[in-house]
Structure formats: structure tokens, C-alpha cells
Chain A
Amino acid sequence: MHDTLKFDPIRKELRGVLMTLGLVAAITAVLFALVWEVGLAHGSVVYLIPVVIAATRWGIVPAVVAAICGVLASAFFFYPPLYSFRIKDPQEVIDLILFIFVAVAVSQLATRLKRQLEMARQREIDLRDLYAFSRRLAVAFDVSDIHAAIEDHLASVMQRNVVLFPSAREASNSSGRRAGVVVPEQVLAEVVEVASGHRDNTAGATVTAPSGEIWLVRAVSPKNREFGVIAINLGRESKERSDELRVRVDAVLADATATLERLGVAHAISEARMRSQTDQLREALIGSVSHELRTPLASILGAATVLSAAPALRNEKKLTALVHDVRDEAERLNNDIQNLLDATRISSDGVKPHAEWADPTDIINSAVERCRHRLVDRRLVIDLPADLPLIHVDPVLVQQALIQIFDNAVKYSVSGSRISVDAHTHEGHLIISVVDQGAGLTNAEKSKIWDRFARGERHAATTSGSGLGLWIANAFIAANAGKVTAVSEGPGLGTTVAIELPVTQTAVPQLESDTDE
């Protein structure tokens, strides 16, 4: 469809006429041979063949050309006197006039049939688009789903790059690249103008990008601003062509907005917007509360470390111990706040890993480093083979998951007990396990430890914590296509928590052979 829209109609007509002439010539040659060999009288009726073909294939003009050429060829080749356009017998003149009449009538009928067929096909496509569109609207969850559905629908109906901007803010924040389409800056500026209502824009405005492409910018619906503003790339077209396209855009948009209104999309959009505003408010609240809590903590922790190293306190054992308490508790509070922030991040917009090729040894070492002062009075045994494969993960997320697991191991084990960390590969997976000699897990606990805010009842009175740690670890590892498992022989017999991450051995990019020459 894209091609036919662009195709020059005159050239198309000309091509049809040329094809028709070829067809007539071919028929004439065949007839001529038949008359010569078999002694066929004359065959003007046979010229109906090119007429019908031309009418169904190329339209009315080539069909009429076929009829006229057919008559001329019959007169010239087959009616005496031969090789002249004169015809002797008046009966034969009537034959030919009759032929022309029939040919024109047939071509009329055939072209009409063709047009109807095309319309039926177009209607079917439109219906299918519309059906797909309404189905997407029905399952749309939030405003952006609805907007994406509108955008895709218009793009598929128009067969053009279409970008929909829900609001002026989206347009001005946009980097110019949306849905894989690069929108030139001038177009963005126009979108902002239209979306913010500075311009009365029913018919839309066209903007010519530096590349020479013409963009049409207009509100999806002149009545309802909720539907947003669209920018359509009309391509490099002549003035008349782009006017033609604009008429089509108007028609499609009128259709689309009618559908949107019938389906109550405006209402759905405002409802979804309200829902997301509630979510945003909650997130903002948690975000600002934790910021407000963390800022003074930074001062408390910093001041405590200055105090603990101060010469004046050097020989004051009891005071130094107090300062250390301030420091340790502040740090614990900071970890709890961080966990709350992480939990909010996970449940609000999911975890978005920034994957890169990472060395598992680095991840484990840096997690140990970060926990070092918490692991101080445990016997730490680390066993890492030298040939661990590189993994494609977000190393910081995996490290944070490991830190949570270490924290848990420390929390539920006694001073002086062993915590061992080892890593190995098994059936295409890298497995990092943390083994403690701590409280272990009962069967009931095993089923619950991955829940949010899960706290072991046996430890609720003696151990502090929010119950978020393992839930966060699990979410961070899941975001990297891995999983976390916990195994325990039973209460008091220690716990093994294992992180399992996929090793895509074949996908590890190979170093080019000359990188170290």
C-alpha cells in the first residue's frame, strides 16, 4: 500500500496501455497464423480477451484502448480488402460497431467489479485493524497502553510513522526518539505548541524537517485533549499528494476518535491517570521520607566516626564504646531505610538491570568487602575456582542480593561460627552458595522465607529486621533471570542459600584473535 500511494498515477496508466498494446499485438499474431494455416474466417470476437484482461487488470482507459486497437487490427488484417482500414462488406461494418459496443460495456463492468473487490478488501483490512484496536483497548491497563494502542492503530491504517504524544510535557521531555521513530526537533516544538493548547489546531499544521520530510502535527481529537497529539511522517511528497494524505488522516482520525469515544476511552484514561497519580504520590512520599531520614543519618554516622577517632576519646574506653553504638545503630538504620527504598523500587516500577559482562569473583569479593565489618566475628571461608565463567548480569544487583544473604547468615548465626562462600558451574548455571552454621529452617519457615516482610517466629523476639532482605535478594536475582533457593537440614543445623544465574556460554563474545598482538 505504501508503494501504490507513492506511485505516479499517469505512469501507471501508461504502463497499462503499453501492456494492452502488447496483448493486442500478440493476439493479432496468433490469429494471423491461424487464419493462414487453418483458414479461419476472421476473429474480431477474440479481441474481447485483451479487453477483459485490460479492464480487470489496468482499468477503463487501457480497456477502451484494447477495444479500439482490436477493431483496427481486425479491419486491417482480417476483413477484405486486407492490409487496409477500409471494409467492403456493410455487414462486417455492423459486426465491428457491435464489437466496439460490447467491448466498452464489458470493460465498464469489469472495472467496476475490480473496484468493488478492492473496496471490499480495504474494508476487511480496516475492520481487522479496528477489531485489533478495540481488543487492545479492552486489555489496556494504563494510559500508556491506551496511547500505544492509538499510536499503533493510526500507524497501521496510515502506513506511515506515527508518534503520539500524550501531553506537552511528554513532548518537551522526549529526546526525539519514541517507539523507534526519530522525531525532528522542529516537529517536537510544534507538538509542544499544539499539546499545550497555544494553537487552535483542528486541521493540523505541517512542518518540513531538515531532511525534507513533511510532518503533520495535530490533536487526535479537536474535542478531547486526553487523546493527545500525533505527529505523522508524510514523507517527501508533492503539495497535492500531501494534501490528499491529510484528507485521509482526517478521515482516519475521525473514525478513530469516534471509536475511542464509543469505547469510553477518555474515561478510562482519566481513571488510569488517577490510579497512577495515587501510586506516584505513595512513591514520592516514601522517597522523600527516606531522603529526609537519610540526610541526618549521614551527619550522625559521619560525626560518630570523627568522634571515635578523636584524640580526646582515645583513652576513654566507655565513651568510645558509646560512640561505637551510635555509629553501628545509625548504620543499621541506614540499611533498613535502604531496604525500604529497594522494596519500593521493586514493587513500583520493577527492577531494571543494567547487564554487562562481569566476573563473578569480582561480585563476590566486593559483596564480602561491603559486609566486612558485619562479618568480623564469623569465620569466613571463601572458595572460588580460578576459571569461573563470565556472566551477563547487572553486577551491582547481584552484589546487593549477596549482601542481603550475608546479612541474613550473620543475623541467624552465633559469633565465631563459620560462613562459607563458594561458587561453581552446574548444567549451564553459575551457582553461588552461602553456607552458615546458624539457626537453620523449619519446614514451615522454608515455605515462607521468600515472602515480603517474612519474619521467623522463633526469632521475632530476639533478632531485629524488617523481613525484607531475602525478598529483595530474590527480586534482584530474578531480574537477572536467576533464582535463589534455601536448603536446611532442620532447625539449628545451618542454612545454605544458593544464587543460581544462567551462563550463556555460547553467547560469551569471543575476543578477536589479534587483541593482544
Chain B
Amino acid sequence: MSEPSPIVLVVDDEIQIRRFLRTGFELNGFVVHEAGTGAEAIRSATLRPIDLVIVDLGLPDMDGADVVERIRSWSSVPIIVLSVRSSEAEKVHLLELGADDYVVKPFGMAELLARVRVALRRQMRAVSGEPTVKAGPLTIDLAARAVLLNDKRLTLTPKEYRLLQVLAQHAGNVVTHQHLLKEVWGSIHVHDTHYLRIFVRKLRQKIEPHPDSPKILVTELGVGYRLVQSGNEVDAPAWPDAAPAKSET
């Protein structure tokens, strides 16, 4: 492996969680730094070069959201938040503060690793300025404003393209309803979720091999949408060794 190992900062007050994350990451070739408090995390993030931050929301000294906001104020390092279930509003809030993604506790290591790889790749693409985004059979050329499905050019309406463009710019990550509505229809429509539903449906008819069980443009219920890149990563089962579902769809 010629590339240097990515460095991940794990922020959680539970030592057991930090321990399994460290082991899981190290087995997958990451270098791990740990922080038990928000203050420590912020200090650590300023002192050392870091490729990715994992933040638990329940920290003893400050709210995880504050940590996200503070780090985001000077750095574009990818941040993944560990949250508990049943608070979609909180997830949306965190994404708006600048978190790249969230994983709901309890989670499997494979699920977290998949999210981490997506975030790292997006960061790399942002740095290199790579203009094409691939998602399964779909290729979006942001520079040429062209969308190809299995190398065949698709005809999209301006709004459909804009929607896909915003998702492609954040490929792999969740984009909130509010963000999409604002980018595509303008600030006055941020609560008109039905616009999104209708256009996502139209778009799926064009880009998904099976529009009724989408694998490229997937829904994050109550939060937003995600453009899943090259199929097998985020889409992987939460438990890495589970046999694939025998779905007849």
C-alpha cells in the first residue's frame, strides 16, 4: 500500500466504545487517535493532522453538536456523528451544522467503515477536483453537465439535473430535504417536501434499474436522500457476513 494510513480521531466518553473502534479501525489499516471529552477532541484536532473525526453526541463536557460546529469553523475534515435513534430532527440539525454523516448506535463495525470510506473518498474528490461521480451504472459528469446510464446519455429536465447534481456533489453522504429544496427550488420552498418526492420519483424512473426498490438514489427516512456510490459499500449489510436476503423483487 503506497498511500499513507488515514488518521481517524475517535471522540467518545465510553472507554469500551473507543476500544472496539480502535481495534476495528486498526485491523482495517487506520491510525487511531482518541479523545474522551469535547475539549480534548478540539485540542487534538487543532494540534495534529487528521483525516476523519468520529464524534459521539453524549459527551460529558459539551454537546457533540458544539464539537461539530467548533471543528467545522476552521476545518473541512469529514465528521461522522454517533447518535441514538428516534431523533430525526437532531440528525438534520447535525448535518446542517456540517457533519458529513451519522451512524445510529448500536452499530456494526462494517457499517461504520463503509460510511468512513465514503466520507474519505468524498474528501479526496473535493481536494482533487474530480468532475465525474460514479454511482453504480450511473455516471454524472459535473463539468460537462452530462448524465450517463450504462454509457448511454440520459435526457433530464433542468430541475431533475439540478437535483442529481446536488446529490452528486455530496455523493455517498446524506443530503437533507431542506438543503435539496433550497438548492433546487429556492429558500421559500424549504418545507415543500412533496416537490422532492415527486421529482425523486421521476428521476428514479430514469436512473434506477428497478425504480420501486432504488439502489442508487436512496431515501434516509425523515432526513433526506443519499446517492449511493458504486453499490457495494454503504449498501453492504450491517452485519458483514450475513447471507444476502433472498428477495424476489
Contacts and interface: CB of A to CB of B under 8 A. Distances in A.
B198 A305 contact: no
A380 interface: yes
A365 B245 CA distance: 13
A515 interface: yes
A61 interface: no
B59 to A, nearest CB: 13
A358 B158 CA distance: 23
Contacts of A299: 14, 16-17, 19-20
Nearest to B189: A515
A390 B221 CA distance: 14
B213 interface: yes
Contacts of A27: none
B212 A305 contact: no
Nearest to A385: B212
B241 A308 contact: yes
Contacts of A372: 237, 242, 245
Contacts of A297: 106
Given A301-B106, A308-B241, A396 B222 contact: yes
Interface bin, chain B: 35 or more
Contacts, number: 148
Interface in B232-249: 237-243, 245-249
A373 B197 contact: no
Given A297-B106, A308-B240, A308-B241, A303 B16 contact: yes
B226 to A, nearest CB: 11
Q: Select the residue from A306, A309, A372 with max chain B CB neighbours within 10 A.
A: A306
B240 A305 contact: yes
B197 A310 contact: no
B108 A386 contact: no
B1 interface: no
Given A295-B14, A306-B109, A309-B110, A376 B243 contact: yes
A330 B27 CA distance: 23
A384 interface: yes
A206 B134 CA distance: 65
A331 to B, nearest CB: 8
B219 interface: yes
A399 B20 CA distance: 30
A515 B185 contact: yes
Interface in A303-354: 303, 305-306, 308-311, 320, 324, 327, 330-331, 334, 338, 341, 354
Nearest to B235: A369
A363 B214 CA distance: 12
B24 A373 contact: no
Q: Select the residue from A294, A330, A354, A361 with max chain B CB neighbours within 10 A.
A: A361
Nearest to A320: B241
A366 interface: yes
A268 B224 CA distance: 47
Contact of B159 (A380, A394, A516): A516
A359 interface: yes
A357 interface: yes
Interface in B193-208: 193-195, 197-201, 205
A302 interface: yes
B47 to A, nearest CB: 27
A461 interface: no
A298 interface: yes
A376 B220 CA distance: 22
Given A327-B239, A354-B89, A306 B23 contact: yes
Contacts of A390: 194, 197-198
Interface string A228-254: 000000000000000000000000000
A375 interface: yes
Contact of A381 (B20, B89, B237, B248): B248
A210 interface: no
A511 interface: yes
Contacts of A113: none
Contacts of A271: none
Contacts of B106: 294, 297-298, 301-302, 330-331, 334
B61 interface: no
B213 to A, nearest CB: 6
B231 to A, nearest CB: 14
A508 interface: yes
A251 B205 CA distance: 70
Contacts of A381: 248-249
B148 interface: no
A311 B27 contact: yes
A212 interface: no
Contacts of B198: 390, 511
B234 to A, nearest CB: 11
A380 B245 contact: yes
Given A298-B106, A515-B195, A362 B219 contact: yes
B211 interface: yes
A338 B84 CA distance: 11
A433 to B, nearest CB: 16
B108 A357 contact: no
B48 to A, nearest CB: 24
B109 A302 contact: yes
A473 to B, nearest CB: 15
Q: Select the residue from B159, B185, B237, B239 with max chain A CB neighbours within 10 A.
A: B239
B227 to A, nearest CB: 15
Interface in B12-63: 14, 16-17, 19-21, 23-24, 27
A396 B222 CA distance: 6
Interface of A: 294-299, 301-303, 305-306, 308-311, 320, 324, 327, 330-331, 334, 338, 341, 354, 356-359, 361-363, 365-366, 372-373, 375-382, 384, 386, 390, 394-396, 399, 508-509, 511, 515-517
Given A305-B24, A334-B106, A380-B248, 13 more contacts: A294-B84, A297-B106, A301-B107, A302-B21, A302-B108, A305-B110, A306-B109, A330-B106, A363-B221, A365-B213, A379-B246, A396-B221, A509-B192
18 contacts: A294-B84, A296-B16, A297-B106, A298-B14, A301-B108, A302-B107, A302-B108, A302-B109, A309-B109, A331-B106, A334-B106, A358-B197, A359-B197, A365-B219, A373-B239, A380-B248, A509-B192, A511-B194
